Amino acid sequence: MPAPALHTPRLTLRGHVMADLEALCDLFETDRACFMGGPLPRKQAWRLFASEVGMWDLRGFGHWGIETKDGTFVGQVGLSQPPHFPETEIGWTLLEGAEGKGYAAEAAQAALHWAWENGFETLVSYITPGNDRSVALAERLGATPDATAPRPDGESASETLVYRHRADADGSPEAYA
């Protein structure tokens, strides 16, 4: 199943293309990737990228590349649940020059709407303590801390915060927005 294209006022969420790889590998090699399991060498970044793309075929959900309406690639947002994740996660990654413009919130909200429309009732965001920007975004999206949620295999509460995203009580994406 290919990733469906989603459109927001300023962004297009679309399936990843090979052209995205270079920018993401560059990002994952830097200290900015410390909250994303990095820094990672290109070989590992490639495997991460490939798994996020392949998740669409394997699970029916995955990551989207985020681009502005002029076609500039600015990052990714998506749903993932590799074998060591007890729940489906929504996560986001922006390239350095794209931060602070509201792109992550806009893209994540579109991904959440897609999730609710496709039968997900809850999602989590696994966030490394100290990643204040991701905590702020999760809260801006309406997520709340869930101290009782299971964490990825081998991770403790001191290593991973869990923020719970839920559709509005009536289940409609419109109410969630």
Look at the alpha carbons of 106, 22, 56, 153 in this order and tell me if their dihedral is positive or negative.
negative
State which of 36-40, 44-48, 93-97, 119-123 shows the largest mean pLDDT: 119-123
In tens, the pLDDT along 61-102 reads: 999 999 999 999 999 999 999 999 999 999 998 888 878 899
Q: Is the pLDDT of residue 60 over 80?
A: yes
Question: What pLDDT, on the 0 to 100 scale, is given for residue 110?
Answer: 97
Question: What pLDDT, on the 0 to 100 scale, is given for residue 48?
Answer: 72
> Helix or strand or coil: residue 122?
strand
163 closest CA partner among 117, 108, 114, 113: 108
**Which tops the pLDDT comparison, 40 or 5?**
5
Question: What pLDDT, on the 0 to 100 scale, is given for residue 36?
Answer: 56
In tens, the pLDDT along 4-35 reads: 999 999 999 999 898 888 777 666 665 665 45
163 closest CA partner among 133, 109, 124: 124
Question: What pLDDT, on the 0 to 100 scale, is given for residue 135?
Answer: 96
